[in-house]
Amino acid sequence: MKLSDLKTDFLEHLEIERGRSLKTITNYDHYLSRFLEFAQISKPEDITDELVRKYRIWLNRQLAGKTRRGMDEGLSATLKKKTQNYYLIALRAFLKYLVRREVRSLQPDRIDLAKTSERSLDLISSEELARLLAAPTGDSLQQLRDRAILELLFSTGLRVSELCSLSRYIDLKKDELSVRGKGEKIRVVFLSQEAKDAIKKYLDKRGDVDEALFIKHTNGGATDAKSLRLTPRSVERLAAHYAIKAGISKKVTPHVIRHSFATDLLENGADLRSVQVMLGHSNISTTQIYTHVTDKGLKEIHKNFHGKKR
């Protein structure tokens, strides 16, 4: 069977059997097409260690050139290695699929990912967070919406895409709601009283019947756009706007507020496994970027218990 046909079967497998999103399938299609264009082979048994080695060299040089051209835009070597890994992860997933199909090819565990530097967190202090949440001060629809968005982001730790997909028909008498996250997985997130109050005030003032929880507004009213639902990019601009208004010099995004949600829980005694579930991380290794927070108590432990017999 031709590699191009196997690739098509693999993408259909991701869509139908694995339930992956259209965006994920599109990305995998792009990464695998890039490999096949480079390899110029038609049979799966032609994928060898040597071919993958040459592909990695080519990939590194291609992306390194793009990174150098993009240095003025803030791209880094870390991003370069991380981007290379996306291509390798796609190829490895494809090879795992071939193993399941009992198609002879390179074993997926022969492909190691490029080493990347440890991920760093963009964080704001608790004082900065308080100023950010208090920044929308008016009673217009837009101000009420923006306050509700910021409160909800901090209360739940939602990804911005998850927030934008919410329906207005949520039960504010409850302290929780279900969201559909990455990989179409459902999880429960929890609402603070501040978030519930802000959402209620916003919804009470809305006069439209759009089913989206957060919609676009112009001069205090709904727009006449075909789709009223607020986009992730709009929420990102909103967060940046209120960060400036709150006098925060750091770059603030919805993801930074998600980091604040996680670190707030850990600093107040929550365990890493619980935070993993609330964030919707499939693997706890992703959540472990927050371990620096739980490590803060180590200094006090060392001070209290080390060298007492000297």
> How many residues are listed for the chain in this entry?
310
Beta-bridged to residue 188, according to DSSP, are 178
Place of tokens 């909103």: 238
The rounded distance, in Å, linking the Cα atoms of 28 and 10 is 10
The rounded distance, in Å, linking the Cα atoms of 166 and 149 is 11
HSE-up of 226 (CA within 13 Å, CB side)? 0
Place of tokens 């509700």: 148
| 287 closest CA partner among 296, 295, 277, 297 | 277
Sequence-distant (≥ 6) Cβ neighbours of residue 176 within 8 angstroms: 188, 189, 190, 191
Describe the chain by its helix, strand, coil percentages, rounded to 5. 60, 5, 35
Q: Is the dihedral of CA 143, 148, 154, 159 positive or negative?
A: negative
- Catalytic residue positions, numbered: 159, 182, 255, 258, 281, 290
Place of tokens 């959540």: 287
Q: Which helix (H) or strand (E) holds 177?
A: strand 176-180
Backbone angles phi, psi at 150, to 5 degrees: -65, -40
CB 152 within 8 A of CB 195: yes
